[in-house]
Structure 1
Amino acid sequence: MKRGFEIVSKYENKELTVPYRTTNHAAGYDFESAVDMVIPSIWKLNFLKILWAVKHEKKINQESLAKARAVLKPFLIPTGIKAYMQPSEVLIIANRSSNPLKRGLTIPNGIGVIDADYYNNSGNEGEIFVQILNFGIDDITISKGDRIAQGIFMPYLLADQDDGSKAKTRNGGFGSSGK
């Protein structure tokens, strides 16, 4: 097995579809949402007072900043999917081109990087989540089975100076390599 997709165990009997290409020459495999969920518009969240204060160069207390940060963060859409690949490969999760234009949805970190050692990790079995922000005016309902992102397998290269001395074994799920 070189590379591919599997359904994580907690979604085994939930009738999910593994990612697929929609045209013969598509580079990306479409990922679907594993659940129904609502992604609220950022404009409805409680951070507009902070933006007003920033624009008008007013002092902002730490409590208000903390409240604004708590609501202005991406939502994680579960896919119920994990990906296996060769050690020298990465799965890039990218936004679907229609999401910003048609639905006001964006991936705030630009792309997601799924490393080969994320597969079957101890934290979440390697389930892939898609980070989404809704910068549109209206809340967006994501239904189970809606295509939300695309994944592209790619090889990567190592720098000449990379001796692996700072690399550790992954211990955990989403965001665990940055700890």
Structure 2
Amino acid sequence: MLIDVSIRKLQGNEDVPLPAKMSAGASGYDIYAAVAEPVTIEPGERALIPTGFALSMPIGLEAQIRPRSGLALKHGITCLNTPGTVDADYRGEVKVLLINLGGQPFVVQRGERIAQMVFQTVPDIRLTEADSLDSTDRGSGGFGHTGK
């Protein structure tokens, strides 16, 4: 299924690459930092990083912003609020909320790959209030209910 999504580079970011898949089988599009100057994220700190682009997606689609595994493994850099959701009706600049869980400061450079974007369909759901719910073997068992 092919879905058209419009993407626009924002003014002043002509040098920053648009999101791109790094391999034919990749699910995510790598996202690049559009910082005007390098941004240092100290251990335990977070920073909102601009990407220099905006999207126009059809209703029923969302873009999820997720961490890059290499940054997480090598530097402890990940995304907060993961996955972050870009709603179909949002037309502003996509930004990435990074946090440094590593032990060293991390410098975000312009044009550096900082996250990935995965598109997902969102079904139209009708929530119906009920006085009771059907039962299951699990029931209300929540966090850690199955052991370690």
- Given the alignment of the two structures, is residue 114 of structure 1 paired with residue 86 of structure 2, yes or no? yes
Matches within 5 A, 1:99-110: 99-110=71-82
- Mapped partners of 2:42, 2:111: distance in 1: 19
Structure 1 counterpart of 2:95:
129
User: SS of the counterpart of 1:117?
Assistant: coil
**Could you tell me which amino acid in structure 2 is paired with residue 144 of structure 1?**
R
The code of the aligned residue for 1:153 comes to: F
- Cα displacement (A) at 1:30: 0.5
Normalized per residue, which structure has more strand? 2
Cα offsets for 1:65-124 (capped at 9, x unmatched): xxxxxxx5x3101111111211110001111111211111111212110001112xxxxx
More helix by share: 1
Paired residue for 1:123? Answer: none
Tell me the C-alpha RMSD between the 2 structures: 1.7
Contact 1:41 1:139 in 2 (8 A): yes
For 1:150-170, what per-residue CA distance to the aligned partner results, in whole angstroms no more than 9, with x for missing partners?
A: 0011111122238xxxxxxxx
Residue 147 (structure 1) aligned with residue 113 (structure 2): yes
Percent same amino acid among aligned pairs?
31
- Runs of 4+ aligned residues of structure 1 deviating over 3 Å after TM superposition are none
Residue ranges of structure 1 left out of the alignment (5+ in a row)? 43-71, 120-125, 163-179
Q: TM-score, normalised on structure 1?
A: 0.65
For residues 33-52 of structure 1, the aligned pairs below 5 Å read: 33-35=33-35, 36-42=38-44
* Residues 88 and 157 in structure 1, CA contact (< 8 A), matched pair in contact too: yes
Count of aligned pairs: 124
- Which letter maps to 1:118? Y
5+ residue gaps, structure 2, are 129-148
SS of alignment partner, residue 79 of structure 1: strand
- Provide the TM-score with structure 2 as the length reference: 0.77
Shift of 1:4: 3.7
Corresponding residue of 1:158 = 124
Equivalent position SS for 1:128: strand
1:25 is displaced (CA, Å) by: 0.7
Is residue 1 of structure 2 the alignment partner of residue 5 of structure 1? Answer: no
Instruction: Report the Cα distance in structure 1 between the residues aligned to 2:60 and 2:97, rounded to whole angstroms.
Output: 24
Aligned equivalents of 1:137 and 1:101: distance in 2? 12
CA distance in 2, matches of 1:105, 1:161: 37
